[in-house]
Structure 1
């Protein structure tokens, strides 16, 4: 019996069957544009690095990659938008340290651990402890000595709740056994301006935001938050050297996708970003900003985030900060 007759008889008998060979699906992104959501205002470190990556990522993916800023609520507005986006790979989140801090300070409209998939940790950027050029404190030791002698008198500025500019000094407070008063501003840029104008005694700011001001002499750097001294500021000691105890604090940057995104898309995006970060021009730009490239796997990034979440949870609890 030939195959055509057999198929006709099976059809007449009501027998149905499926093809054993799956239908080929178009490979993501198949020429469709990809949006990278940065949950902060334009001009910051996260925004600058996201745009640098986007310039080259489009070539790797053979499609247009655009950066969209959705700022507000220390990053929560943009983060929520991605967490609730379709898991098709066309909406990507480029985020930073506040994602690990905010859940301990406020009630969140989404669960970052459950609603977002870590793709890769892009890099980390240390911060400089800076004081106004008119400050009477010549060294970080002098500053901390004064802070111990007058608890709650010295002030530090930040871009507001949830920022690493807020939590890094709190972490130092606890490690050094001092108490400083937090003065929040509406943005990190305004906090930098406040230090320059001597409205506050001190501020922790990442290198891209403050390096130019240090080099021009409008502020002075007394310490750096990395584990080792930075080649761009070889005479600036680490906080660890100053307080005699282990201390590290960075602004990390990383990429996420909405929950439900296929492993194939997650892995393709991770590989593409890693290739972008290996481009000499991109590496040179990161180095010029004082940032260190990480380019981790999804699992490595997930483990890093777990450690960050635990650390900031402990910092918030020890500081007695109430969740809003």
Structure 2
């Protein structure tokens, strides 16, 4: 009798598992059957916005559905990130966010844990920052800028798009590695920070290369060094900070795809395959690289590991530089 009971229990369990698997597969096959929303937790015109809108038409075609892009800016991305974390995990709310998801936990008390409330889908791209100065600044190289900062300690300033932004971290890291003192001027948006640097009200900035390149080419900004390990094919004349004699300043921003925890694995797989098919299109890859993005298109597992390492890195930097949130 016990043997029969155990057999029946096993049979019921097997049937339940098959039903769950069948429902998951059916959901993935039907997905998506309505418009998909992609949330960018930053303001329009920023690097994440440029990236998302560049790939949106191809994503829409690959999904076979309209793609709705929503900019939910505020608190260095935390407002949009929390919105997505608490969204229905059905695959119809996808987030493309940046390094902020790794820096925010060390900067503020948050109502969500990135490691627990998101499923990493793909590391899409990485983008170097560039130490850029207003042409009025008497520095022709990164070494000149550091020497000037030493001679005029505390007089040079740099802008960023807020405390805890990647541009802020790049400036703090430069001060740590060179033992200099700069004044940080935080703004509420990238556009505001960039505009005041262009106007000469601020001496320097660490914008992303795609955002700064047109101004560099126009002579409105002077590029002194990239915060990447290698030069960018988009701007081969700009040396890396290490090449310029300022090592230890490799801080890049990156963009990854996340969905809320609880999203069906089959749906996550469908989203991953869609992004992969788009990012491996030769013409789109060339176009993105032409805008300064390095296409990575990693697996979700690789993004998860990278996110953890980045969170640990910025936690150490926050402590070392005593960085405070707004």
Decide: shared fold, TM above 0.5: yes
- Identify if the C-alpha distance between structure 1 residues 91 and 41 changes in structure 2 by more than 3 Å, giving closer, same or farther: same
The verdict on how the C-alpha distance between 1:320 and 1:18 changes in structure 2, with shifts beyond 3 A counting, is closer
Question: Quick check: 1:31–1:64 contact (8 Å CA) kept in 2?
Answer: no
- What corresponds to 1:273 in structure 2? 275
* Contact 1:107/1:323, CA 8 A, preserved across alignment: no
RMSD over aligned Cα atoms: 1.9
Deviates more, 1:237-246 or 1:262-271: 237-246
Task: Please give the alpha-carbon distance, in whole angstroms, between the structure 2 residues aligned to 1:29 and 1:180.
Answer: 51
Which of the residues 28, 31, 50 maps onto 1:29?
A: 31
**In structure 1, how many angstroms separate the alpha carbons of the residues matched to 2:13 and 2:308?**
44
Matched, 1:241 2:243: yes
Which of 299, 307, 315 is residue 313 of structure 1 equivalent to? 315
Where 2:130 maps in the other structure, the secondary structure is: strand
Pairing partner for 1:251 from 249, 253, 256: 253
Report the CA distance between 1:323 and its aligned residue: 5.0
Question: Which is further off, 122-131 or 280-289?
Answer: 280-289
8 Å contact from structure 1 (residues 58, 64) kept in 2:
yes
Distance change >3 Å, CA 63–CA 287, structure 1 → 2: same
Deviation at 1:129, TM superposition (A): 0.7
**2:109 is matched with which residue: 107, 110, 115?**
107
**SS class of match (1:125):** strand
After the TM superposition, which of the residue ranges 240-249 and 219-228 deviates more from structure 2?
240-249
Question: How big is the shift at 1:244?
Answer: 4.6
SS state at 1:282 partner: helix
Deviates more, 1:56-65 or 1:35-44: 56-65
1:264-294: per-residue Cα shift (whole Å, max 9, x none)?
1112111110110011232122111111001
Match of 1:55 in 2: 57
Contact 1:39–1:69 (CA under 8 A) maintained in structure 2: yes
Residue in structure 1 matched with residue 300 of structure 2 by the alignment:
298
Matching residue of 1:14? none
**Is 2:164–2:325's contact at 8 Å kept on the other side of the alignment?**
no
Tell whether the 8 Å contact from 2:162 to 2:187 is kept in structure 1 after alignment. Answer: yes
Give the whole-Å Cα distance in 2 for the aligned partners of 1:108 and 1:233: 38
Map of 1:42 onto structure 2: 44
Pick one of 169, 172, 187 that aligns with 2:171. 169
Show CA shifts across 1:174-231 (max 9, x none).
Answer: 1222221101112111111111111122111111111000000011111111111223
- Counterparts in 2 of 1:28 and 1:112: CA distance versus 1, 3 Å: farther
Normalising by structure 1, we get a TM-score of 0.90
For 2:286 and 2:69, the matched residues in 1 are separated by: 21
In structure 1, runs of 5+ residues without a counterpart are 1-16
Distance 1:247 1:57, change over 3 A: same
4+ aligned runs moved over 6 Å, structure 1: none
Aligned pair 1:283/2:252, yes or no? no
1:183 maps onto 2:185 in alignment: yes
**DSSP-derived class of the 2:44 partner:** coil
